[in-house]
Every structure is written in C-alpha cells, then in structure tokens.
Structure 1
Amino acid sequence: MGIVSLYLVSFVRDTYVANLQASLDKQARFVSDSVSEKGAIIPIAFTEQAEVEFQAFISSIGQITSARVTVIGADGRVIADSLQSPSQLPSQLGRSEVRAVLSQDSASSVGIGSPLDGSFAEEMLYAVVPITSSVGTGGVVGAARVAVPSSQVQPDVNRIIVSIAVAAVLVGLLSVGAGYFLFRHTSRSVRAVAEGANRFAQGDLGHRVAAASSDETQELAVAFNSMADTIRSMLSDMSAESSKLTAMLDTMEDGVMVIEADGRITLMNSAAEWMLGVGAGDAVGARLVEALRDHEIQQVAALSLSSGRLQQAEVELLTQRRFLNAIATPLGGGGTSGILLTLHDLTADRQVENTLREFVTNVSHELRSPLASVKAMVETLDDGALEDGRAARDFLSRINREVDRMNAMVEDLLELSRLESGQQLPSLTPLNLSELVSEVVSEYRDRENGVDFRAFLPQSPAIALGDYGKLRQVLVNLLDNALKNTEAGSVEVSIEAGEGMHFVRVRDTGAGIAHEHLPHVFERFYKVDRARRDGGSGLGLAIVRQIVQAHGGEVRVETEEGRGSTFSFSVLRH
C-alpha cells in the first residue's frame, strides 16, 4: 500500500499539473482570440484612452480566469498585464517561450518558469500562445501569456495526498485485521506443531503432535510424528549396537584407539587406558602427540595416516615397563578418514620367555657345579684312585653328597611345579601352631651352629587351619635361610594373633638384604649373594611363598642392611 500510495501521489500530481497547463493553454488562446477580435494591432501605439481601456480589459480577463494575464508585443514589450503596470515590466524577448511563439517556431508553449519581473521568489505555471492580426495577412503581432503561481497548485495536491493516505491507512488496517483473524484461526495448530518440534529437538521422541484443525498443519503433524517414530527406531537400534560395541571394547584384552586424520583421539577403551597409563577423559579429544609421549607409537600412527597402509611395530614403554605390539589400520579405505590403533600386550609373553630363559640358565648353573664335581671325582677314581681304599671311600662319599644335592634340587623343582599348577593342594586341618614352632625351633637349637634360636609363643595355644607337613616345611626353609645369613647372633620366631589370622615372624640378626634385591627374593633360583657357596638351590623361598598362598595367607619380608631381616607369613585361625 505504501508503494501504491507513492505511485498514486506522483501520478495525481503530474496529472493535475498537466490538466492545469492544458487549462492555461485554453485560457491563453481565449485571451489571444479576444485581443484579435478587438482589432488591436500590436505594436501600433494606443491612445492614452485606448491603452487604459485595453489595460482594464486585460485585468477583467485575469479576474475571470483567476490567473495573471499578460499581452506582449512583437518587439517583446509588455502591452498589458492584469497585475502590474506594463511600464514596470522589462522586455520579454529574453524568455525562450516568448521568442518561440513570436518567431512562429511553436504554436504554443507551456511550462514552469520565473515571474515576468525576473525575480525568483516563486515559480509560475504558464501558457504562451501567439496573437495574430485580424486584418491583412494575419501574421503574429504579439503573444498572450496566462500564468498561475505553483503554490496555488499545492493545496489541491495536498488534499489529494491526504485522501490517498487515508485510503491507504484504512486498507492497511483492514488487511491487518483480516490477517489477525486468519492468524488466530491457524496459530493454534501451528503452535502445537512448533511445540512438538521443540520437544523432539530436546529428545522427547515419545511425544506426538496433534494439530488443532484439519488444515495444512495436519499433514505437517503427521509427517513430524512419522519422523519421530523412524528416529526413535533408529536410535534404539543404534543404542543397542553401541552397547554391544562398548561392552565388547571394554572386555577386550587388547587396547583399541580411534585416531582421526588430524591426529585427535576420538575413542579409547579401558585396556588402552591401562596399557598406556592415560585416562580416556584426558585423552579423548586431544591429539595423540599431546596425550601420549611415546615416540614409537606416534611414528606408527603417523606413517599409517600419511601412507594409508597398515603399519605394525613392537614398542617398549619404559615408564610402564611394558612390551606392546602396535598395529595401525587405516579407516575409510584411504587413510584420510583416520586409523584404528590396536595395542596387544606382550609383557606376559616376554616375562614367560624371560622366566623360561632364566629357569634354564639357573638350572644349568645349579647342576653344572655338582655334575662337574662328580665327573672330576669319577675320572680321578678311574685314573687309579680306586686302588686307594681311603681315597676311594672319600670320593664316593662326595659323589653321594653331590647326587643328594641334585636329587634335592629336582625334588624341590617338582614340588614347586606341583604347587604352582595346583596338583598338590594342602589339606587344611586344625593344628597347634605353637607346638609346631616350638618343635622346629628346638631342633635347630640342638645343633651346634653358633646361633641362638629363640621362640616367643602366646600363653594360650595358637590353633590354625593348615597342613602340618607343609607349614613345617615353611618354617624349616625360613630358619635355614636365616641360618645361612647369620654367622653369629640370634634367630627369633614369634606368633601374634590378628583378625582371623595368625602371624608367624622369623627375625635374624644377620647381614640383611639390600633393597634392590627385595622384589626378587621369592623368585626361584634367586640368590642375594651368588658368590657364596652355601649349598642352597635358591628354591626355598619360592616354595615358601607357594605354600603360604595355597593356605590363603601372605608372606612378607622386612630388612635393614647390616642389622638383619624379618620374614613373616600368615595362616588362617581356627
């Protein structure tokens, strides 16, 4: 309506001015015809009386037409004017419209121009037509000019503009009213659809949109409800698949990581967290080079991302002391979409290999010495020492001791193997732990070894659940170990009652154990001082640990280098 109103205002103004100019042209022709009918020959001089009458005649025409009427001679001089004295007005030959009419270049001239006196106070709408002589050849003897001020036009134009504005406002109000009622008619169903869409966006896929009327929104509501059903079904399927995948990833022993093309980690399972020592909360979303400082894993991932091919390498994590097999597999078929990094823990395999290697080495070392000794003595006997009865008996006695030593080592190995495999489980029966400790300590006290053996027992008997023979073997092995490390001093055995357990402690005043050896004292064939030939196989403490663990207890060691060691184990109370 605004655009139409602007067009109408411009159109009406132009039309009104054009009609006014056409009216001025008719009035000017009326003046021209009137002057010609009077028989005035311009510019022949009038008499004074005739000039006054002609001036009055022109003034009357100006009053009738409500316009300024001017008669101009052929020489441009103003002959008569309805508003001013002709003597006060300059020659009009300077005006193009007057020259065009007087020179017969134009039959008439209409337009907008300045007043006749040459001032620019107000623009005038004018029409100029030629005056022809009524006698003779009828040539142009002057010009008639009719003009009105442009300000006279504006009130009429303003009235028209006001009318158009009022009409535009009325039409606009009617349009707003009609639109409001139409909006009220359809807004309820639109609001229902909008509310349903918002609830869908918030995750409430169980909500259903009900349109308030059977208009176009009804189809939209049906479409929204159908979309919600489809999305709900898809999300249910995706949630089930995601749960399966999450459960599978969390129960995998191998570490799994997904790394995007820009190097950012988007997935990490619990096995990868444990292997790398990095939490998923800190790693997911970060770059691999930021979350993990291991250069070898970074290099495997970078090569797979750049080449788009599978890369594999065995890496060692020094901080976690782990050996991993890292496999980087490109995703998306080209490596640009990211990689799947799989980490397989080889630490246990390496430990088994190392244990087997150490076992073979230790067994070879332990058997080499007695076998070498037996071989040397057999060769000596074969070279003639057999003829010497005394020397032969001495060699045979040594050979017998070495064979007993090897046999004891084999028996210990077999027993340790049976304990570790669970083939030889202890028979748990109630026993008096105090009597067992007192009996074993008495046996060692009777030996002449320069070491004072003492027992500190509770006042009431300590009744435990265990295998008498196995627990006796534990005490014997611990006392043997204390005796080997205590050349002079004392060995004390004590029993303390705890919550559901009895604790047996064997403390010696020997040389103690260096702290770097503590993690290995219960390993098979491990000897703190390998240079000392004490006849031990290095299996005693390993057997102690296996027997105590089979009884449901724990064995520990506390030591202070130079001041002795304390071995303790626990056994169930009865």
Structure 2
Amino acid sequence: MKNYIVKRITILISTAIFMSAFLVAYLESLLSNNILPELSDFQCLIVSMIIVIPFVAVLSHMVLRRIVKPIRNVIAAGISMIEGDFSVQADETLEGEVGLLGKTLNKLSVEFYRNVSQLYIEKNRLHQVLNSLEEGMIAVDENKTITHYNQVFLDMYGLKEEDVLGTSVDQVDALDRELKELSQAIEGKYSVMKNGARDETVLRIIIASIEDDHNMPAGAVVLFRDITELEKLENMRRDYVANVSHELRSPLTSIRGLIEPLMDSIVTDEEDVKRYYKIIYKESLRLSRLVDDIMELSRLQTSDAEIRKSSVDLSSIMEMVYERYRMMDEDIELVYDPVELPRVYSNYDRIEQVLVILIDNAYKFTPKGGRIEIRTDVREEDILVTVEDTGKGIAKGDIDFVFDRFYKGDRSRTKKGTGLGLSIAREIMDIMGEDISVKSQEGKGSAFEFTVHKEM
C-alpha cells in the first residue's frame, strides 16, 4: 500500500465528519423533542455541536496519535543517526510508507556507520603513516591554511599543535621564511625543491601542489627532509677524495720528476743515477704504504668487519714493541717499566698494531732530545695503556680531528706518514669495543690512551 498513511488519515477524517454529523443530528432531535422543547431548532443545533465536536476531536486526536507514532519513531531514529548514535533502529514491521521508510533509514544507518567507521580507520591509518615518516610534513589548502601535519615537523621547528592547526603558513614566522614559493606552486600547479636551514640543521624542502577533480588548485603538500648527515657525508667524501688525490699526487709527482731526466739521459753520472733510483724506490714504498693504509681503513669500516678476540698476554706485546723501538738511534729517550700484567681478552696482532701506530706517531712529532713514555694502569675491569711524548703537542682546535682520516698535525705535510694511522687505530678500538682518546697541550706534548679489557 503505497498511500497507506494518506488512506488512514482520509478514513479518519471521513469517519470523524460522519460521526459528527450523525451525533449532531441525533442530539439536535433529542434536545428539541424531549429534553429542551422550549429551544428553537437552531439553538438545539448549536448546543449539539458544542457537545459533539470536542468529543469527536478528542477521539480523532487519539486515533491520529497512533497513526503519527511510527513517523515519530522514524524521526527519532534519523535524529540519533545525525548525532552519531547508530544503535537506534526504526520500526520496519509497519505497513506502507512508514515501514518502507523505516527499512530505508535502517539500511542507510548501516551504510553510514560502515562509511564512518572506514573513514575513522583511514584517518588513524593516515595519522600513523604521517607520524612514521622520517620527514616532516604539512598539507595546506588553497588559502595556505595548514590542514595536516606530523610530529616530526613540529619537532623540527619547535612548534606545538595549537601553533599550526588551522593557521596560515604566513602566520608562522619560520615557515613564512622557508615557504615563500608556496603561493606560486599552488597557483601554478607545479613542484618546488629547495634547501633551507634551521639552526645547524640543513633541510631539503619539497613543495608539491594538489589539484581537485576539476584540475583546479586545491593546496599543496610540503616535505621537510633533514639532510644534515648527508651533507656532512658529502663533505667528507669530497675531503676524502681531495686528500687521497693529494697524497697520491706527491709520490707520483716525485717519481715522474725523477724518471723523466733518466729517460731523456739528462742524468748520466752513475752515482746520480743510483741516487735517483733510491729516491724512486722510497717514493714507491711510500705510495704502497698509502694504498695499504687506505685498503686497511676501508676493510675496517665495512659493516661486517670483525676482529677475533682471545686470551692475550699484554705484557709480552708491551715488552716486544718496547725492545723494537729501544734499538732505534733517534736521540729520543723511550721509557717503559716492564711489569707483570693480567691477561686480557683482545686480539694480539691488533693491539700490537695500535701500539706501533701510537709510538710511530710520537716519534714523528717529538724533537731530538725529547722523551716518550709508555705506561700501563691496571684498573678494575680493564688496563689503560698510555703513550706520552714531549713533542710539540696538538692545537686546541685540532684535538677533535686527530682521529679523522688524513689528519696531519704538520699542516705543511713535510712529516712522513699517510695521515691514516690514528684513524685505523680508532676503527680497531671501536670494533673491539675499546676506547681510545688523546690529551694534549700545544708546545708541551701529547698523551694517547687506549683501554684493553681484562680476561674474565
């Protein structure tokens, strides 16, 4: 019944009119003939209508309430759905339009609830994705008002949620400086990539415009990527290449400068030829040491580098290295007081290598008549080995860089060496889980220290 409600109301109205007319006629006849014969027919009619109409109206109201009640049920279900409560259901058992409306509303409620739940899930998923990004991110609308952001972005600029949400980019001082191209990118519907800076942080800023379904500008997404470490690595790479090139060029230039006169028979004296060959041989050894040190450092710096450790007699290493250098005639006093040391858990060859690097380094920068002392200090968990010299020391501004690749205290690079020894020593100590450090005062000497853990 498509017109169920209309028919019920029509029947109600017709019934009310019929009953009213019947009752009015009946009462008018009863009043005029029996109860109030002294009244005229018109007066009896008026009295009958006064009596009948309220009664019929009350009865019609009661019936109409029963007809309207299902409609109120449907309205209540609709209001609850609008307010977000999808548990209220309309009555589907009624006939006609009301029942059909109830079924439609309940189906709409289920679909609406499913869509709202899906949107909530998508919102949470988007929130998790944004906060899992390593880059800072904001999204803005066509008016440059911030609509989305993540925690990384807030941390980068030291902002709070209330500082950005619903706020125009122009009202945030730090962003206003960084995103001057934002308006052009939105209006022109293109992307922009630039570098910015925040304190000591270098940022790569990427602005990508967003379009709506009519290909009209709808805003933009901005990514803030911290590339400070990448910049440092790039600078290190450039410095590394420059240093390697410089170190390789020196012996190669010397060798070339000596070979050319020999090839052109400019040098013919036998003694001079031998001297040239001797210099060429030394330069080739220098070149070989440089290549060996570069390869050694590269091996140590690989992620899978491993040094096998075992029980080691540290005393034998100390005494062997000391005897080796004690025989050198360098006019430098080498001091070491041999003592019995507990066994350590380390690598024999690597400890020897580090000790040799530190003593070699001390000899390079200690003038004749100077003094080099090797000391050991047995502590609770480890043994501290110290190589101290009375050389020229290290400038305060250079102490933080002495373990860097190709660092040389001698800026003129007249001293022998590749500048990689201390870097190799640090890498060895790091891999073995030990510490190495330096204390120095310019003009008074340096003291290099490293730890070796005892055998447990």
Q: Which has the higher contact order (CA 8 A, sep 6+)?
A: 2
Give the AA of the match of 2:376: S
1:548 aligns with 2:429: yes
Decide whether the 8 Å contact of 1:444 with 1:453 is kept in 2.
Answer: no
Per the alignment, do residues 318 and 528 of structure 1 end up closer, same or farther by CA in structure 2, a change over 3 Å counting?
farther
The counterpart of 2:350, out of the listed 454, 470, 494, is: 470
1:387/1:419 Cα in 2 relative to 1: closer, same or farther (>3 Å)?
A: same
RMSD between aligned residues = 4.6
2:223 is paired with a residue of what secondary structure?
strand
Match of 1:263 in 2: 144
Question: Match for residue 242 of structure 2?
Answer: 361
SS in 2 for 1:329: strand
Instruction: Indicate the residue corresponding to 1:374 in structure 2.
Output: 255
- Residue identity in the other structure for 1:356: R
Contiguous gaps of at least 5 residues in structure 2: 1-49
Distance 1:210 1:260, change over 3 A: closer
Give the letter aligned to residue 358 of structure 2.
Answer: L
Query: After the TM superposition, which residues 276-291 of structure 1 pair with which residues of structure 2 at under 5 Å, given as runs?
Result: 276-278=156-158, 281=161, 283-291=164-172
CA distance in 2, matches of 1:351, 1:475: 30
Letter aligned with residue 470 of structure 1: R
Aligned residue pairs, count: 400
1:417 partner letter: S
**Per-residue deviation, 1:265:** 2.7
In structure 2, how many angstroms separate the alpha carbons of the residues matched to 1:229 and 1:456?
A: 87
Tell me how far apart the structure 2 counterparts of residues 422 and 314 of structure 1 sit (CA, whole Å): 32
1:164-563 equivalences in 2 (<5 Å): 201=83, 205=86, 207-209=87-89, 226-269=107-150, 272=153, 276-278=156-158, 281=161, 283-291=164-172, 293=174, 297-305=178-186, 307-317=187-197, 319-322=199-202, 324-332=204-212, 336-344=217-225, 347=228, 350-379=231-260, 381=262, 383=265, 385-389=267-271, 391-422=272-303, 425-447=306-328, 448-454=330-336, 461-464=342-345, 466-487=346-367, 488-495=370-377, 497=379, 504-563=385-444
**Residues 319-345 of structure 1: CA deviation (Å, up to 9, x unaligned):** 234252523323436675321113455
What is the identity, as a one-letter code, of the residue corresponding to 2:295? L
Are the aligned partners of 1:495 and 1:504 in contact in 2 as well (CA < 8 Å)?
Answer: yes
Of 180-189 and 220-229, more deviation after overlay is shown by 180-189
SS of 1:395's equivalent? helix
Q: Which amino acid aligns with 1:298?
A: L
Residue 218 and residue 563 in structure 1: after superposition, are their counterparts in 2 closer, same or farther (change >3 A)? farther
Instruction: Provide the residue aligned with 1:100 in structure 2.
Output: none
Q: Give the partner amino acid of 1:531.
A: S
Shift of 1:548: 2.2
1:418-472 CA-partner distances (Å, limit 9, x unpaired): 2223565322323234543444345344444524444697x751422x3322232
Equivalent-residue separation in structure 1 for 2:196 and 2:400 (angstroms): 21
Structure number, greater radius of gyration: 1
Give the distance between the partners of 2:398 and 2:384, measured in 1 at CA. 24
The DSSP-based 3-state class of the residue aligned with 1:552 is coil
Gaps spanning 5+ residues in structure 1: where? 1-166
CA apart distance, 1:258: 0.8
Same amino acid, percent of matched pairs: 27
Q: CA deviation at 1:404?
A: 0.9
Q: Measure how far apart 1:559 and its partner are.
A: 4.2
Task: Tell me which amino acid in the other structure corresponds to 2:269.
Answer: E
Q: Is the 8 A contact 2:195 2:204 kept in 1?
A: yes
250-259 vs 537-546, which deviates more? 250-259
Q: Secondary structure at the match of 1:293?
A: helix
Mapping of residues 126-141 of structure 1, within 5 Å: none
CA contact (8 A) 1:260 1:337 kept: yes
Q: Which amino acid aligns with 2:420?
A: L
> What one-letter code is carried by the residue in structure 2 that aligns with 1:387?
D
How many angstroms apart in 2 are the aligned matches of 1:569 and 1:196? Answer: 78
Aligned to 1:24: none
The alpha-carbon distance between structure 1 residues 434 and 300, as it changes in their structure 2 partners (threshold 3 A), is farther
Structure 1: distance between partners of 2:420 and 2:336: 25
Q: Is the 8 A contact 1:328 1:339 kept in 2?
A: yes
Instruction: Give the Cα separation in 2 of the matches to 1:397 and 1:460.
Output: 44
Quick check: 1:507–1:566 contact (8 Å CA) kept in 2?
yes
TM-score normalised according to structure 2 size = 0.68
Contact 2:136–2:153 (Cα < 8 Å) also in 1: yes
Whether the 8 Å CA contact 2:206–2:223 is kept in 1: the answer is yes
Contact 1:193 1:221 in 2 (8 A): no
Aligned to 1:128: none
Give the direction of change, closer, same or farther, for the CA distance of 1:450–1:320 in structure 2 (3 Å limit): same
Q: Please give the TM-score of this superposition, normalised by the length of structure 1.
A: 0.56
- 3-state SS of paired residue (1:483): helix
Change (3 A) 1:460 1:570: closer
Letter in 2 for 1:406: L
